[in-house]
């Protein structure tokens, strides 16, 4: 019997965490799944460890990239190789809660949707488990406009029909950070979202050493790429104020990465769009007054 759900796990040098991720899948209450681990050119023994686990569970498969191609390329490789009708994701240093697949699959059937996302717990370096607020800001329904204005669901919370990924021509491998935000914007343009508010996975927000400098710069670049890619829809649906907010965030990431020149520049762009919002609001008020006058 072919699996109904394929779980895609991109992995790069995750020998220390991959077993926990895989065991959380093996403990699922829903059983008709396959796990596709894409070893993205690891230089440690990640692949060997995956094969050891796979020896005890034929539902686990390993695909290797000869070279490190990045998370998006690894996910695309996994999606294209998947046998299931539904695609789920798990990062190699996170873990599912036991009913993760079951509740999200049930939501697709209940709401008749092709995309579901869920709540989650986040654990930071202090080790305290908390509810992660970001997915709940998106909710379900027609969420395209919301996602143009704010970041959205993260990959491990997504549960998507494989047909939907074919529809959007898979993931954009050019995006260097905030890849899930670009992905859900593109999905939301075509599909209604379902939402499971209960946490279905644990996201470990570990702070790596490169986050101090290069990680912040990478985040700034990725955020900027998404804003530029979706610039026209952001402007149409959110106006100059939405662009002002986004460029302020880009400036924040550059500042934390130590690139103060770029931070100053994007802060200036943010202020420019804030200024452009003023005449738009004035024109909107004038339009309301004129329309109210016609109604008398």
List pLDDT tens digits, range 181-196.
Answer: 999 999 999 999 999 9
* pLDDT for residue 133 is more than 80: no
pLDDT at residue 214, as a whole number: 78
pLDDT at residue 211, as a whole number: 46
Asked if 65 and 130 touch (Cβ cutoff 8 Å), the reply is no
What's the rounded mean pLDDT across residues 124-136?
81
Q: Please, what is the end-to-end C-alpha distance for the chain in angstroms?
A: 68
What token pair was written down for 296? 């008398």
pTM of the model: 0.91
Picking from 12-26, 49-63, 135-149, 275-289, which range would have the lowest pLDDT averaged per residue?
A: 275-289
Asked if 191 and 164 touch (Cβ cutoff 8 Å), the reply is yes
pLDDT at residue 222, as a whole number: 97
Picking from 31-35, 41-45, 62-66, 201-205, which range would have the lowest pLDDT averaged per residue?
A: 201-205
Q: Give all domains of the chain, ordered by start, each with its CATH number.
A: 5-206 (3.90.550.10), 210-294 (no CATH)
Pairing status of strand 33-40 against strand 5-11? parallel
What's the rounded mean pLDDT across residues 250-264?
97
What's the rounded mean pLDDT across residues 113-127?
92
* pLDDT for residue 213 is more than 90: no
> If you ran DSSP here, which 8-state letter would residue 64 be given?
E
């Amino acid at each position: 019997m072919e699996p109904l759900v394929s779980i895609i796990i991109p992995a790069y040098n995750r020998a220390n965490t991959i077993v926990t991720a895989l065991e959380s899948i093996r403990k699922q209450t829903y059983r008709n799944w396959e796990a596709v681990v894409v070893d993205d050119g690891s230089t440690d023994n990640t692949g060997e460890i995956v094969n050891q686990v796979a020896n005890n569970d034929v539902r686990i498969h390993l695909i290797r990239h000869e070279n490190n191609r990045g998370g998006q390329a690894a996910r695309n490789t996994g999606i294209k190789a998947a046998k299931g009708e539904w695609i789920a994701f798990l990062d190699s240093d996170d873990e599912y809660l036991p009913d993760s697949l079951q509740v999200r699959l049930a939501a697709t059937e209940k709401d008749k949707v092709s995309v579901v996302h869920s709540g989650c717990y986040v654990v930071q370096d202090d080790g305290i488990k908390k509810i992660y607020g970001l997915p709940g800001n998106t909710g379900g329904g027609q969420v395209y406009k919301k996602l143009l204005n704010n970041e959205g669901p993260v990959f491990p919370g997504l549960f998507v029909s494989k047909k939907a990924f074919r529809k959007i021509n898979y993931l954009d491998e050019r995006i260097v950070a905030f890849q899930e935000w670009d992905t859900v914007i593109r999905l939301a343009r075509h599909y209604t979202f379902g939402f499971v508010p209960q946490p279905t996975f644990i996201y470990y927000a570990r702070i790596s050493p490169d986050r101090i400098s290069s990680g912040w710069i990478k985040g700034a670049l990725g955020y900027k790429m998404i804003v530029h890619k979706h610039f026209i829809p952001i402007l149409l649906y959110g106006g100059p104020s939405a662009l002002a907010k986004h460029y302020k965030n880009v400036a924040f990431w550059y500042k934390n990465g130590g690139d103060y020149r770029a931070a100053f520049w994007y802060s200036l762009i943010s202020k420019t769009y804030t200024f452009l919002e003023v005449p738009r609001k004035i024109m909107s008020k004038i339009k309301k007054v004129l329309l109210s006058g016609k109604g008398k």
